[in-house]
Each structure stands twice: as structure tokens, then as C-alpha cells.
């Protein structure tokens, strides 16, 4: 009896160890997946504050909350089941899907750069301008959630690409974790950003000189922060999109360009005495970003030409 109990306890201990190891794997995979999707996440965080422009301060947080709930529904109820089903029944489709998504990221990055250079018209506002605040808010939230669907699909596709070797259940758990953490992180940060100027104004009204200076710094720093987020987001989209394309080319045996980029990164890393890992990553990301901007510019040109042909 004792030996049977000891054997049972051993089995329980083994199961516990396996479960702990599995949770460790899930946590590590979720972290890796989230890191890979950072480019889209940063861009999402840079774009989202613009959704509340023109609304009264008391509606800013409710609008962000509505968009956040819609984003979570997009990820958990629409995209996650679709990606898990694809992983189970059509895993071969992941690489083409990732490359299409990578090309889209390159397109977005290149379009933003071209617009900044004044060579391409910015997106025109869609539909008539709504005077009713309730209708305008509903239209803005609906449009933001539709835009989020595209960005969320990219985030989950990139995440899935990093955990393709994981068991199906782990993949589902990781995608759910990434969905929740990214949504909470992005829209929590956005809520803080859109209220930072209000916080700054309140602090600037305090009697303490140091607090006043901090408040003025927050108010004056808002435009700078949004500009930095925009630049970093654009750069991240270019290097993430280009990196996805490089990986896809390797997957299909078209490895001349990928080998050259890897070789340049290895040579640069070997040429410096310190921080070789960072230097190698930077060189690789730089050339992936260049590739992303070139591909994106081609896509922008193709889309613009197609639009002109359709209008004629």
C-alpha cells in the first residue's frame, strides 16, 4: 500500500513538473511572440491616440475603452479561432500569409515615409463629416475597430509564426495571452497618453515649483512623444515587414539576399569588440528595413497606379 502511494505521489510530482515546464514554455513563447510583433504594437500605440482628436475630454477614455473592447473581440473571437484552425489544418498557409502581411507592413511604412516627404497625398477622410457627436463617436469607434482588425491579424500572424513548433493547445494559449497583454498594454498606454496633457495641466496649477515644472514638461512633451512614437512605429513596421519577407525567402529556398544580410550582420558583429549582439541585430534590422521600404514603395506605386486606372 505504501509503495503504491509513493508511486502515485511520484506520478503526481512528475505531472506537476511537466505542467510547470509546459507553463514555462508557454510563458517564454508568449514573450518571444510579443517581441516579434513589437513593430505592429508600437504602430498601433502611435495611431490610436488620433482616434480621440476633436472629442471633448470627458469622452476620451470611454472612446478608448470601446475601441479596446472591440480590439479584444477581434483577437479572441475572430482571429484566434481562425489562426488555430489554420495551424491545425493548413499550416502550410502560414508562411504565405505572413509574407502578405509583411508586404502590407512594408506598404504602410513606405506610404508614411512618402507622405512625410510630400510625394504622396495622405489618406483622405472617408465619408461625410458627421455633426452629431454621438453618431460621430460611433463612426470613429467602428472605423478604429475595423483598422484594429488588420493590425491585430498581423500581430497574431507574427506571433503564430514564432510558435509554430509548439503543441496546438500551447499555440492557442500563447495567442490568447498575446491578445490580452497586447490589448491591455496598447490601450492602457494610449489612455495614459491622451490624458497626459490633462495631468500636466493639473500639475502646472499646483503651488510647488517643481511640480509645476513637471506639469509643463508633460504638456510640452506630448507632441514630442507622439512624434517619436510615429517615427519608431514606422521604422519598426519597415524592419519587421522586411524581416518577415527575408524569412519567407529563406523558407522557399531563395536565400541569396537573406544570406547576404546575415553575412553583413555577422561581419559587423565580428568587427566590434563589444556589444556584438546588438551590432549584428542592428545591421540585420537596418537592411531588412531598407528591403521593407523598397518593397513598400513598389506596392504603393502599384496601388496608386491601380487606383488611377480604376478612376479612368
Q: By the 8 A CB rule, do 261 and 118 touch?
A: no
* Distance of alpha carbon 257 from the chain centroid: 25
* Of residues 34, 42, 96, the one with CA closest to residue 244: 96
Q: By the 8 A CB rule, do 69 and 53 touch?
A: no
Residue 124 pLDDT: 45
pLDDT tens column, 204-245: 888 788 888 888 888 788 778 777 777 877 888 888 889 889
Low-confidence ranges of the chain (pLDDT < 70): 1-54, 120-131
Classify 127 as helix, strand or coil. Answer: coil
Residue 8 pLDDT: 45
pLDDT tens column, 172-195: 888 888 888 888 888 888 888 777
- What is the number of other CB atoms lying within 10 angstroms of the CB of residue 197? 17
Q: By the 8 A CB rule, do 255 and 241 touch?
A: no
253: left (phi over 0), alpha (psi -120 to 50) or beta: left
Residue 14 pLDDT: 47
pLDDT tens column, 57-82: 778 888 889 988 998 999 999 999 99
* Of residues 103, 105, 99, 87, the one with CA closest to residue 251: 99
pTM here is: 0.71
- What is the number of other CB atoms lying within 10 angstroms of the CB of residue 177? 18
Residue 53 pLDDT: 66
> Does an H or E element contain 78, and which?
none
The residue count of the chain comes to 312
Amino acid at each position: 500500500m505504501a509503495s503504491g502511494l509513493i508511486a502515485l505521489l511520484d506520478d503526481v510530482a512528475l505531472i506537476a513538473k511537466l505542467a510547470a515546464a509546459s507553463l514555462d514554455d508557454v510563458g517564454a513563447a508568449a514573450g518571444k511572440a510579443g517581441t516579434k510583433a513589437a513593430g505592429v504594437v508600437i504602430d498601433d500605440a502611435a495611431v490610436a491616440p488620433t482616434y480621440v482628436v476633436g472629442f471633448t475630454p470627458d469622452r476620451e477614455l470611454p472612446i478608448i475603452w470601446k475601441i479596446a473592447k472591440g480590439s479584444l473581440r477581434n483577437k479572441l473571437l475572430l482571429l484566434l479561432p481562425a489562426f488555430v484552425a489554420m495551424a491545425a489544418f493548413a499550416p502550410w498557409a502560414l508562411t504565405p500569409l505572413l509574407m502578405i502581411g509583411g508586404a502590407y507592413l512594408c506598404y504602410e511604412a513606405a506610404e508614411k515615409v512618402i507622405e512625410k516627404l510630400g510625394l504622396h497625398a495622405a489618406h483622405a477622410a472617408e465619408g461625410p463629416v458627421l455633426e452629431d457627436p454621438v453618431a460621430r463617436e460611433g463612426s470613429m469607434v467602428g472605423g478604429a475597430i475595423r483598422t484594429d482588425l488588420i493590425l491585430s491579424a498581423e500581430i497574431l500572424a507574427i506571433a503564430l509564426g514564432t510558435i509554430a513548433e509548439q503543441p496546438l493547445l500551447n499555440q492557442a494559449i500563447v495567442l490568447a495571452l498575446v491578445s490580452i497583454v497586447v490589448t491591455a498594454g496598447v490601450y492602457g498606454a494610449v489612455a495614459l497618453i491622451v490624458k497626459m496633457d490633462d495631468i500636466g495641466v493639473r500639475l502646472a496649477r499646483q503651488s510647488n515649483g517643481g511640480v509645476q515644472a513637471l506639469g509643463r514638461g508633460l504638456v510640452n512633451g506630448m507632441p514630442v512623444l507622439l512624434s517619436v512614437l510615429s517615427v519608431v512605429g514606422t521604422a519598426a513596421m519597415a524592419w519587421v515587414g522586411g524581416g518577415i519577407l527575408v524569412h519567407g525567402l529563406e523558407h522557399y529556398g531563395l536565400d541569396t539576399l537573406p544570406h547576404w544580410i546575415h553575412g553583413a550582420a555577422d561581419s559587423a558583429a565580428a568587427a566590434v569588440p563589444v556589444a556584438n549582439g546588438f551590432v549584428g541585430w542592428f545591421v540585420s534590422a537596418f537592411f531588412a528595413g531598407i528591403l521593407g521600404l523598397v518593397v513598400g514603395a513598389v506596392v504603393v506605386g502599384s496601388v496608386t497606379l491601380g487606383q488611377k486606372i480604376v478612376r479612368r
